[in-house]
Amino acid sequence: MKALLGAEYADFAAALKTPPPVSIRFQKGLDAGLMQAGFAPLTLTPIPWHPQGYYLSERPQFTLDPRLHAGAYYVQEASSMFLYQALVQHADFSKSLKVLDMCAAPGGKSTLIADLLNPDSLLVANEVIRTRVGVLRENLEKWGVPNIAFTCAESEVFAENLPEFFDIVVTDAPCSGEGLFRKDPDATKEWSTDNVYMCAGRQQRILTAAVETLAPGGLLIYSTCTYNHLENEDNTKWLQVEHGLELLSIRIDPAWGMVENQGGYHCYPHHVKGEGFYLAAFRKKVGPISKRNIPSGFISLKPLPKAGIPAIQPWLNPEWPVKLFQIPSGEILALPAALENAFLCIDKAIKSKWFGVFVGEIKGKDLIPAHPLALSPLLQPGLVLEVSRDQALLFLKKEVFDLPAGTPNGWTLVCYQGHRLGWIKVLPNRMNNYLPPDRRIRMDL
């Protein structure tokens, strides 16, 4: 770092000894004023490179804020929100796009991308480490994203089975983590020069696949949370020389503090109110599209039999046309109708995957609604119960609470300040809490 920063090194080292900033990003469409008021008496300061991003004056108990569990906001590091500028400056989100987040867990960048897409666009959130797929799905389900596929596959699988399929590929590649040393001191224990070289080689392998699955004229975003040239500038140059990509410039306000170097953009903690981050954007040159066929060995989606449709239709928002499918486990999925062909391509190409919105399962003639449906815009709300903060937290601990007199029996959507939390079923003498056990709060209230 002394070699990279020269006279600035002392300021950099001093910045690493300061508390890491706390930042969040509100979901698109929410009233930012009302959301900010919900954090009083904390001070919220806008993050200048993202319209929904804010710094908090201190870190609250996020786990005990029901709005977090409802997907009203995401706790995301401010520097990584710079992805927004790369995307909006170089992609037309009024079009129907197919977007791959190649290294997606825990979901911060995927939720950011989802807010930009129109309903006829597809987001594929991929995570190669199977144990991290659960938190990725949880965060995207909180966000209420219906036009999504979750996958668990090596990058080469996309290159081989979905060549030139995606209009945008975002690759926030595994790296040596130098930019995390302030936020996560344990990251220093994993650092070594050997690890830096290993990461740089692995990044090139992932990037090669990213280029191959990217359509001609498509946009590639490459980012890391590290500082060294091997993983950043050298790989940026390698993408231009080895794969013929066009390096794109990103307009930045000098007041933001980003440092441009050889066409990539660095966030250093002594310049930016955020952690270490690097990003570069590329355009794949226009050329002939590959004629390779998508394999057909992994099909899991089967159209829902017509007999099951009457049990489900009353639950669905008619403003979102969907196609209903059933997977071998019996679970029913709702997929946006405009994306049916794209979903079927993913189904054929990727072995481990999950699609759209889990609607539920049919028992007899009735639907047992699933938790993701409660949080989705595909839902046509029926009975809704607005609860207090204390009641919301009891619900999120998967406990019961007293219901207002006269609460109707039946499936009821629990909401806090208008934000959906999940299902209860009200019975004549009790209520059942249907929050999934793995989503419950385990800390003391």
Residues taking part in catalysis: 225
Contact 138, 148 (CB under 8 A): no
Tokens of 380: 């046509």
**Helix (H/G/I), strand (E/B), else coil: 422:** strand
**Contact between 393 and 445 (Cβ < 8 Å):** yes
**DSSP H or E stretch at residue 345:** helix 340-349
- Angle in degrees, CA 242, 234, 250, rounded to 5: 90
**Phi, psi values for residue 329, rounded to 5°:** -70, -10
Q: Is the sign of the CA dihedral 337, 342, 343, 344 positive or negative?
A: positive
- Give the pair of three-digit tokens for residue 363: 């028992």
Three-class secondary structure assignment of 110-160: HHHHHHHCCCCCEEEEECCCHHHHHHHHHHHHHCCCCCEEEECCCHHHHHH
For 237, residues 6+ apart whose C-beta sits below 8 A from its C-beta are: 262
Give me 94's structure tokens: 């009024």
Residue type, 363: K
Residue 357's beta-bridge partner residues?
334
Residue 29 backbone class (left: φ over 0; alpha: ψ -120 to 50; beta: rest)? left
β-partners of residue 283 are 219, 246
Estimate the share of the chain in helix, then strand, then coil, as percent rounded to the nearest 5: 35, 25, 40
Phi-psi region of 257 (alpha: psi -120 to 50; beta: other; left: phi over 0): left
Report which secondary-structure segment, H or E, holds 373: helix 371-374
CA nearest to 148, candidates 310, 312, 291, 353: 353
Q: CA triplet 312, 317, 322: central angle to 5 degrees?
A: 70
